[in-house]
Chain A
Amino acid sequence: MAIPKVCGIETEYGIALRGSGDSNPIAASSVLINAYVSDLQRKVGWDFEDESPGNDARGFAREGSMPPEVETHLVNAVLTNGARYYVDHAHPEFSSPECADPLQCVRYDKAGERILARSMEAAAKLLPADQHIVVYKNNSDRKGNSYGCHENYLMDRQAPFPRIVHHVMPHFITRQIYTGAGKVGTETAQPGGKEVSFQLTQRADFFEEEVGLETTLKRPIINTRDEPHADAQKYRRLHVIVGDANLAEVSTFLKVGVTVIVLCMIEDDWFADKDFSFASPIQALRRISCDLELDEALPLANGRTATALDIQWEYLDLARKYAEERGLAGVGEEVGAEVLRRWEAVLSGLETDFMSLADQLDWVAKYRLINGYRERHDLSWSDAKLAAMDLQYHDVRPGRSLFAKLPMQRLVTEESVLEAITEPPTDTRAYFRGRCLQRWASSISAANWDSLVFDLGTDPLRRVPMMEPLRGTAAMVDSLLERCSEPAELLELLGS
């Protein structure tokens, strides 16, 4: 029986310091995040004890040592909504709290955008009047440099990793048709020097391997990082690096929602001997991204050929049968039904007239806008104005964002998004983390996904482990928290 798919999204934002000749992205990211968190009662540091990004899900340890994924001296904060907000490499990164379903994921992903926008406003007060920091929620600088938007899914350790790889790979390759954020042009050489005016995704240009541990070079479609941030005997965390950062809520909802259903099906061995594997996965990933007609049939490993749409219809067919026979408890029944409904509507739209999805999917919205501008001014696809519009689509400032001008469908209310800036989800362990930070930040010396460390000033530091992502919910800890007015009482009751 598939386990509930606790999920989350981590986004590295692009960052630029304008008005200064010397733009140091690490310094700018630090200013940005410090400006935001300085308003908080007290900054809580991140606890690195359990971080092990070098472990490999295929069951072997990486040769040699890997430098730590995060530089510990850089800014690192845990927010009262349960999220982590920090400088990763040379980017500000927002990691959403653990969410119990794909709709909550959309909500906290949006809250992240609002936090970045507020951070820019806060930073403006600290910088000279002629300088300002601007952040972009995209994945490429259009010069061959990429930065990621990673998804995380809690999985049952019992599901064999090779089975996950086999059945999720064709999904990751074909879901681009609704998850892509769109890009003018390409950043990689095309076979036969083919011109690409516009492609579906930001990221496809940057993937070179099928399966691997890397995230910054030779990026793999399936990332094997084995770092559960939970009980490692029971769980794994599938760390997905192949997606685009989305602004469109329907794109985010389907990116996470359909993947959650597919992973539940894999845990329940629903695919049996079905095989959608592509003959050349990397080639398929790139060609689908560059196929705006959505009609190129590509060779499969079994000798057939299929388009990305064909494969997605096959997944949907199997998912419907799965939902009928097994239910969608692992997704949440109501949200799961909505994922199926939207998934089918989007595939139908892509098949008949993709422009009908301009208010739902990022790549269609961006294409419609940029192509409309191109036609109006009679520009070639290589005109810098179009490249500039591509970047500005992702500008996070509400007044400058081109995305914000578009009449896009919403799945969550703005009110609930604003609440999510400070309030944790109620139905995962993020609730316990967030509530404790709201009440006792000055007594918490460090936090991690799977622990909180209290410093009461008298005793040794007290670590509260949180190895179960679905414990620490409002239903489980509210009455406990209400009984405590001081953190010492909480620790006493927890027996930590």
Chain B
Amino acid sequence: MAEREQKKKSAPARRVEEVEEVAPVASEQGEKIKAELDELLDEIDEVLEENAEDFVRSYVQKGGQ
């Protein structure tokens, strides 16, 4: 089973009605994440449905639970 280092907290903390700022990602890490996403988007460009509007319009699913 895939293991992943836990980021924070060994005991659950409470947060009641307060907005927490999204932690700023260190710039080096941020660049890496952005590069990964860019690569992913390049790859996905090649498989995306060509006529998005037709594709979305023609997808109709009736009679489901």
Contacts and interface: CB of A to CB of B under 8 A. Distances in A.
A400 interface: yes
A368 interface: yes
A373 interface: yes
A399 interface: yes
Contacts of B38: 376
B65 A12 contact: yes
Interface residues of A, number: 67
B65 A89 contact: yes
Contact of A347 (B12, B64, B65): B12
A354 to B, nearest CB: 8
Interface string A385-398: 10111011000000
Interface stretch (A266-274, A404-412, A450-458): A404-412
Nearest to B1: A411
Contact of A90 (B47, B55, B61): B61
Nearest to A334: B1
A140 B44 CA distance: 22
A195 interface: no
Interface string A135-146: 010011111011
A148 B63 CA distance: 11
Contact of B55 (A14, A295, A388): A388
Interface string B28-65: 00000100011011011001110011011011111111
Contacts of B6: 344-345, 348
Contact of A310 (B14, B37, B43): B14
A438 interface: no
A391 B59 contact: yes
Interface residues of B, number: 41
Given A352-B8, A353-B25, A384-B52, A372 B15 contact: no
B37 to A, nearest CB: 5
Interface string B1-25: 1101011110011111111101101
Interface in A303-355: 305-307, 309-310, 313, 316-317, 320, 338, 344-345, 347-349, 351-353, 355
Interface in A349-393: 349, 351-353, 355-356, 368-369, 372-373, 376, 383-385, 387-389, 391-392
B17 A307 contact: yes
Interface in A387-441: 387-389, 391-392, 399-400, 402, 405-406, 409-411
A216 B65 contact: yes
Contact of A348 (B8, B55, B58): B8
A353 B4 contact: no
11 contacts: A141-B60, A297-B17, A307-B17, A310-B14, A316-B12, A320-B12, A351-B13, A353-B22, A369-B41, A373-B41, A409-B4
Given A16-B58, A348-B9, A368-B37, 9 more contacts: A91-B61, A216-B63, A307-B17, A317-B12, A348-B7, A349-B7, A369-B41, A400-B47, A405-B47
Interface of A: 12, 14-16, 25, 88-91, 136, 139-143, 145-148, 150, 215-216, 241, 293, 295, 297, 305-307, 309-310, 313, 316-317, 320, 338, 344-345, 347-349, 351-353, 355-356, 368-369, 372-373, 376, 383-385, 387-389, 391-392, 399-400, 402, 405-406, 409-411
Which 8 residue pairs are nearest across A and B when measured between Cβ atoms?
A147-B64, A388-B52, A90-B63, A141-B61, A148-B65, A89-B63, A215-B65, A384-B52
